[in-house]
Structures are given as structure tokens and as C-alpha cells.
A and B are shown apart, each in its own frame.
Chain A
């Protein structure tokens, strides 16, 4: 940690990990309802559980992005954060808004568009939080050194705030409502979030592999360019069946197929940087999460996304467990893992210790990624069966769901393992520190 104000990232990372646990715990409860449908059905119906599961995910990922920005921008801009006090106020306001929304959901206080269920005042608070954040980091960047990492990161974060404004527009025509709803949802996760992800990975590569900044900058602009060139018109794959013109079937199919490109470029980028890298960084767990992130993002967002993105395929698969499978692995691979990579890298610096509990952290990596892969496979198989029975043969929805119980049991098992691995991760970050350096790092670096 080179700048004292980087310390504000600590609360963001702790808050993010706490909500991560909430997210996966509630996910497991929702997975239980799939196999034991009467469980909690009066007390906390499935729709409430799912709102908490998805909203907790979004809030903690954003919290992780905020923390990552506060951690890396001082090192990139070579100056302290403009106002650490504002950053702390922003954190507590955001945490309060997020918790208030979740508590409100359990009492039936919510709006009703998917992922945008927050009551109006919480949405307004999110805008205030975003403005405080953007003001703070923009001032820091403007007064300091400009780098490709900060430029792309800032563009991504400004984009998040700007596209969120569409959450306030809810036309009474359902088709028009959906048209602009995707301006928040798609342009976030298949647009500007990828810029944030690319910038964080570029920062991690510079730090972990000692890669040449000139080379990293070129890669980052290329990845960010591929993300937006494909991702903007790729929104068309959500416009096939909602009342939009038929040309979206061509536009969406072509451009969303190309959306695989930025994720593949991220795999090439990170592996090339490690291959060419000049530095043997002792935090091998952070490197493992970074490389794993690009691989899982490529499979989850790229391969699993492509699997059902062509309009003739999507005609049958749209809105089935295939979508659920893709959603789970894409969010995990791209955005959960990039956050866990950044937390793994930054925590030892924030706690002013050596890289610690690395072995436990790497156990958590392998258990979590295996369980998420297994969960994705079970949902994919469930989806294939569902598509055939329901969309091809025309069996009714509920009849088909009964046929899928076996897959849902396996999904629940995978979910429980994810919860365990998430707890291992948090313990590896916050538990008592052990000094665990790889043997070669101990040999090549002077004793401290």
C-alpha cells in the first residue's frame, strides 16, 4: 500500500464479502425451495428470496468495484484519494441503502421490474452514492497521472451511473419497458462492467507479472474496444421476442456471437502477460484468481452465452434453465472472480501483512470453481430436457419441472459447496494471518 488513503478500500472489501455470503446463503435457500417447494412458502416466498439473491449479488459486486477503484486509482494516479471522508460516507450510505432494500423486501416493500426492485428512494440514494463516488475518483484522476487503466476504469464507472438512469423510466407499454430495461441490464453486464473488469485485470497484470505498461495499455484498449463494438449492438439478442422489429434477429445473432471475442482476448492477455512477465510475485493466489477469472468468464459468458444466442436456437431456449445456467457461470466467472482476485491481491497490503493464508485461499478457488462448474452443468442438462419436453413436445411447464427434480437436487448440492468455499475465502482474507510464500519467492527475495 503506497498511499494511506488506499485504506478506504478495506471497508468496501469487507462489506462486499459479507454481502457475498448473504447472496450465496439465500441462493442455497432458494435452491432448497426448488426441491422442497413447501419450504418457507408462507414466510418468505420464492420471489422474495430471489430478489435478495440477485440484489445482494449486484450490490456486493458494485461494492467490490468501488473498493477496487479506491485501491488502484491512487497507485495509478500517483496521489491520495481526493476525499477519504467522502469515500467512507459513500460506503455507509450504500451499505445502508442495500440493507434497507433487503429488509424491505422481506416485508413486501419493493417495486416490480426484475433486478430494479429497489424502492424509489433507494434508487435515488444509489444515484447520490454514484455521484459522490464519481466526483471523488474523477478528481483524484484529473489531478494525478493519467493511465489507460484509469481512463478505461473511469469510462466504465461513469457508464454504470449513466445507464442506471434508465431505471427511473418505466413506460406503461410492456414492450417499450423491456426495450429500455435492457439499457440498464445488458449495457451494464455486457458493456460497461467489462471495461471495469478489463481495467482491474490490467492493473493486476502490471502488479503481479511486472508486465510492460506500454504493452498492457494496448491490450486494454483492444479488449475494451472489442467489448463495446460487440456488446452495444449485441443487446439485440434480448430484442428477439419482446415486440421489437425482426431485424434484431440478425443484428443480435451476429454481434452477440462476437461478444465472445473480448473474453477470449482477456484469456490471451492474462496468459501472455504471465508468460512474458518479469516478476515472480509472492501472491500466487491472486494470480490464480486472475487467470481463473478470464478462463471462467470465457466459458460462462462466452461459450455458454454463444450456446443459446443465435436467434433460431434462442427461439427454443429463451427463458429456460439454459438461461439460468449461463447467468450463473457468467456472473461468477466474470464479475465474482475479478472481485475475488482484486480482494486477494489487495488484502495483504491493506492489512500490512505478507501474502497470507494462500493455501486456504487456493483451496477455496478450486472448490468454488468446481462447484460452480458442476452447478452450471446440472442447470444446462435441466435446460436441455426442459427445452425438448416443453418447447418441442409441448408438455406443460409444471409437468416438465417435475421431470427435472434430480438436476435441482444436484444443483442444491453444488450450491452448498459454494457456500462452504465462500466461507473459506472470507476466512483466508480476514482470519489470523500465516506467512505463506511459495518456496521460489522466498529464495529470490531478500528477507523482510
Chain B
């Protein structure tokens, strides 16, 4: 056994196997790419305001407190489904007003409660950001999260 499993055999298995699994992974990634663009996300609804909203999200590094689709910093609530949590799927105007009021009222200053900074967003920034969060809530996430608490 030890004689037959030579160093060069080990090396060849390593390079050959790695190449095989890399190609398999790359192929599945390409398939997933098209699945996302055609099936699981609302590519047609990816409007300019949603794209701008994603930049608002990134510019203020929201992900380093919140999570979105479970990825981020675990310090503040999940926002992938915040639109649904605020009832946006049933009453979009009400949810938009509530989210806007929430962001404008930060930081709460309440002693002992986690503080969200005031980012001084323009009215358009806020609306773009909400469009982005509403768009995100429509991604087919295989029914994740388990409930609206996120």
C-alpha cells in the first residue's frame, strides 16, 4: 500500500481531482447564475431605483450591523424580509411610511438599547433603499427565514 501510494501518485490525484471539482463547481455556478437571473429573482423589476438603493445600502455599510438573507453582522435585525415584516406585501404605502419614519428617528438615544446611526439620507435615498429592500424580499430563498422575525 505505502509503496504503491507514491508521492507522484498523491500529487497527480491532487492536481487531477482538484481540476475536476473546480470545473464541476464552476459549471454549477454558471447554472445558478442563469437560474437567479431568470427564475429566482425579479430581474425585470430590477429598476434604476433598486440599483441605486443597493448602492445606498453599500455606501453606509449597513451589512456590518444587519444581515441580509442571513449574511452580515448579526448585531441588528435581518433585513431580507423587513419589507414583509412591515406589511409591505399587503400595504406598500403604509410600510414605506413606517420604514421612512423609523430611519428618520434614529438614533433613538434610549439608554441600554442598540443605536442605529443617523445617516442623513435624502428622500430619494430612503425611497431607493426601500425599493431595494422590497425587491430583495421577493427573491425565492427556499422559504428562508422560517418566520417573519427574520
Please give the residue numbers on chain A whose beta carbons come within 8 Å of chain B beta carbons, in ascending order. Answer: 33-34, 37-38, 41-42, 45-48, 50-51, 110-114, 117, 148, 151, 172-180, 183, 214, 217-218, 221-222, 224-225, 228-229, 232-233, 235-236, 238-249, 251, 315-316, 318-321, 323-324, 390-392, 394-398, 400-401
Contacts and interface: CB of A to CB of B under 8 A. Distances in A.
Given A174-B54, A228-B22, 13 more contacts: A34-B75, A45-B65, A47-B62, A47-B64, A50-B65, A112-B58, A112-B59, A173-B46, A174-B69, A180-B29, A232-B22, A243-B41, A392-B146
Contacts of A239: 32
B72 interface: yes
B122 interface: no
Given A37-B115, A111-B58, A179-B33, A46 B146 contact: no
Contacts of B41: 173-176, 243
B139 A175 contact: yes
B17 A225 contact: yes
B114 to A, nearest CB: 4
B150 A397 contact: yes
B115 A50 contact: no
Nearest to B51: A172
Contact of B21 (A45, A178, A221, A229): A229
A249 to B, nearest CB: 7
A215 to B, nearest CB: 9
Contacts of B55: 112
Majority SS of interface residues in chain A?
helix
B29 A179 contact: yes
Contacts of A396: 77, 149
Nearest to B58: A112
A243 B73 contact: no
A157 to B, nearest CB: 15
Contacts of A235: 25
B40 A175 contact: yes
In order of increasing CB-CB distance, the 3 nearest A-B pairs are A112-B58, A319-B70, A47-B64
